[in-house]
A = this chain, B = another copy of it.
Amino acid sequence: TLQHIFKEIFKASLELQEDDHRKALLVSRKRQPENTVFDINGETIGRSGTQTFIAGPCAVESYEQVAEVAKAVKKQGLKLLRGGAFKPRTSPYDFQGLGEEGLKILKKVADEYDLAVISEIVNPADIEKAVDYIDVIQIGARNMQNFELLKAAGSVDKPVLLKRGLSATIQEFINAAEYIVSRGNNRVILCERGIRTYEKATRNTLDITSVPILKQETHLPVFVDVTHSTGRRDLLLPAAKAGLAIGADGIMVEVHPDPAVALSDSAQQLDINQFNKFMDEIKNSGLYNKTDKTSPSTI
């Protein structure tokens, strides 16, 4: 029938149009088929077959605390240390981080242990200052659609790790990355960190298939934050294995010298011993730096 013919014609034109739109985004794999690959402190990010681990405490509490974790991170052969200086907390009366003092501690430890540091920035006005101290700017989940912050992060020459919002769709996540890249900064890492669902057995629900979808739709590196997605120490290792198996370019995990006294996230950080076991099991799993992530969707 006539209607059917129109339908088919239109379908084709619609797909064409949608393709155009996706191709138009700077982050789109349609626009740039090859992976975005860059270097942070000698660690290659985003290259097929190479995975990166980022470890460190939830919050910077003191020089000693950060240094102790840095030592362990270094010993495991890793090169990226995380630590929060500005902490976005649900309540105004919870520990809000050490601020610039925290950034200074991170810088000092990073220099001493030859590590790159990643830390969250929460105010557009702090971005300029932060680049003197840190190697990767983290944009947290609560700020994924803080577009002013995204624009500021897009205007500096520093890699950005962008976390998925608490209940952001994958399309919103990709568009948030586009805000950064469209300002000229194309070194963006996408980080899945779990989404908010009805299920409360875990802090969030790790949306594991977002990893291959993001790899297909964009050319950016994709990481999995196993700490915030699960919120449970006992699930960090299984979640990391799943992340590596499904093609993630890296894993982020929280480590604290003494989680029981941590000023935030005490229930979900690994202590140094647990971290060493965690890395050992990862290395023994056959999943680390061995998988070929070029073809998540060959079928």
Q: A175-B90, A202-B209 are in contact. Are A148 and B169 (CB under 8 A)?
A: no
Task: Let me know if A250 is at the binding interface, CB within 8 A.
Answer: no
For chain A, residues 155 to 195, give those with C-beta under 8 angstroms from any C-beta of chain B.
Answer: 165-167, 169-172, 175, 178-179, 182, 195
Q: Are the C-beta atoms of A246 and B242 separated by less than 8 Å? A: yes
CA distance A181 to B165 in the complex (A): 25
Partner of A3, one of B6, B13, B236, B285: B13
Q: A146-B146, A278-B299 are in contact. Are A216 and B234 (CB under 8 A)?
A: yes
Identical chains in the assembly: 4
Interface residues of chain A: helix, strand, loop or mixed (majority):
helix
Partner of A238, one of B143, B229, B281, B296: B296
Interface residues, chain A, CB within 8 Å of chain B? 3, 6-7, 9-10, 13-14, 16-17, 88-93, 122-125, 142-143, 145-149, 165-167, 169-172, 175, 178-179, 182, 195-202, 205-213, 216, 229-230, 233-239, 241-247, 270, 274, 277-278, 281, 285-287, 290-291, 296-299
Q: How far is the CB of A267 from chain B (nearest CB, A)?
A: 13
Partner of A6, one of B13, B202, B291, B297: B13
Q: A206-B209, A210-B201, A245-B245 are in contact. Are A91 and B299 (CB under 8 A)?
A: no
21 contacting pairs across A/B (C-beta < 8 A): A3-B16, A6-B6, A7-B13, A9-B10, A93-B182, A122-B148, A142-B145, A169-B200, A171-B201, A197-B197, A201-B210, A205-B205, A205-B207, A206-B207, A206-B208, A209-B229, A211-B238, A212-B234, A235-B297, A237-B298, A286-B286
Q: How far is the CB of A5 from chain B (nearest CB, A)?
A: 10
Residue of B nearest to A172 (CB): B90
Q: A167-B196, A245-B245 are in contact. Are A208 and B92 (CB under 8 A)?
A: no
Partner of A166, one of B10, B167, B207, B212: B167
Q: How far is the CB of A166 from chain B (nearest CB, A)?
A: 6
Q: Are the C-beta atoms of B213 and A235 separated by less than 8 Å? A: yes
